[in-house]
A = this chain, B = another copy of it.
Amino acid sequence: MSVETPETGVLDAGAKAAVLAEALPYIRRFWGKVVVVKYGGNAIEDPQGLTLFAQDIVLMRSVGMRPVVVHGGGPQIGELMTRLGKVAEFRDGLRVTDAETLDIARMVLVGKVNRDIVGAVNVHGPLAVGLSGEDAGLILVSARDPELGFVGEVQAVNPTIVERLLAQELIPVVATIGSDEAGQAYNVNADAVAGAVAAALKAEKLVYLTNVEGVRRERDDPASLISTTSTEELEELLTEGRVAEGMIPKVVSCVRAVRAGVGHAHVLDGRVPHALLLEVFTHEGVGTMVSR
């Protein structure tokens, strides 16, 4: 692996051994466990971040975990629409998706973002396989609202194809296009898909990699960052309108997933290098953890 790791040079052997030994109980606890990681469209823009993220995912697999990556790609869709001279229209924060917009979204998510992630992982070997939610009936959706066009709401997840790839020690990377019973494709919110996939897989962990530090008790007070919380407390925050807008679908999905049997849900700061590794393999707490 050609990745530079200059910091370790200054560590003495004893310190290194101590870090490895610290990781031991976590490695044992998570062996064979499924971890669903939502990787955001913003994060993908940063090539260095993508490289580190891919490294973390491969390391998790190497110690016996079974990671699944779910991603969106809002900024990238917007960019192509602009280049094609198409004006994005939003209602209540949701993109109105006509047939052409859907085609563009699908091309970007499945044909670009998904590919970039698969490619970054496969630098380490033939490990990742890209999936669209349309493959083998993975994500079944229905139209959310006729006025929004092809914007889907998750109805059911058929995780068979994902489970098969995991059983073959491959890393599924899922683009969040779904299809309805008639085979029509829809764009779906990636946060919601990640939660539903984690629930369907009875995952050990559901991790949202974001560009904030975590969930706050007061949306504008950085000092109110929540380290660990419960589904009850989160529901209260939602009811009281204290959750920042962009965080709402994540928080809602965390609550649902944990209630549906997922072990823990996490909102991490993806800007911290190797945030996934630190969360999973060290005593270090990063971001917000949701438990039952």
Contacts and interface: CB of A to CB of B under 8 A. Distances in A.
Nearest to A111: B111
A16 B14 CA distance: 13
Contact of A120 (B122, B138, B183): B183
A99 interface: no
Contacts of A31: 62
A24 interface: yes
A75 to B, nearest CB: 15
A170 B137 CA distance: 11
B1 A7 contact: no
Contacts of A22: 5, 8, 16
Nearest to A161: B129
B129 A131 contact: yes
A274 B136 contact: no
A172 to B, nearest CB: 10
Contacts of A120: 183
Contacts of A161: 126, 129, 170
Contacts of A226: none
Contacts of A182: 123
Interface in A99-142: 103, 106-112, 114-115, 118-120, 122-132, 134-138
Contact of A134 (B23, B119, B136): B119
Contacts of A128: 135-136
Interface stretch (A189-197, A244-252, A275-283): A275-283
A46 interface: no
Interface in A1-49: 1, 3, 5, 7-8, 11, 13-25, 27-28, 31
A281 B59 CA distance: 13
Interface residues of A, number: 82
A90 to B, nearest CB: 22
Contacts of A240: none
A64 interface: yes
A164 to B, nearest CB: 6
A168 interface: yes
A163 B282 CA distance: 33
A108 B282 CA distance: 40
Contacts of A138: 126
A93 B246 CA distance: 48
A18 B28 contact: no
A241 interface: no
A223 interface: no
28 contacts: A8-B15, A11-B19, A17-B274, A18-B274, A20-B59, A20-B277, A20-B282, A21-B56, A24-B62, A27-B62, A28-B58, A28-B62, A63-B63, A108-B111, A109-B111, A111-B111, A115-B134, A115-B177, A118-B134, A119-B179, A122-B136, A122-B137, A123-B182, A125-B137, A126-B138, A126-B160, A130-B131, A130-B135
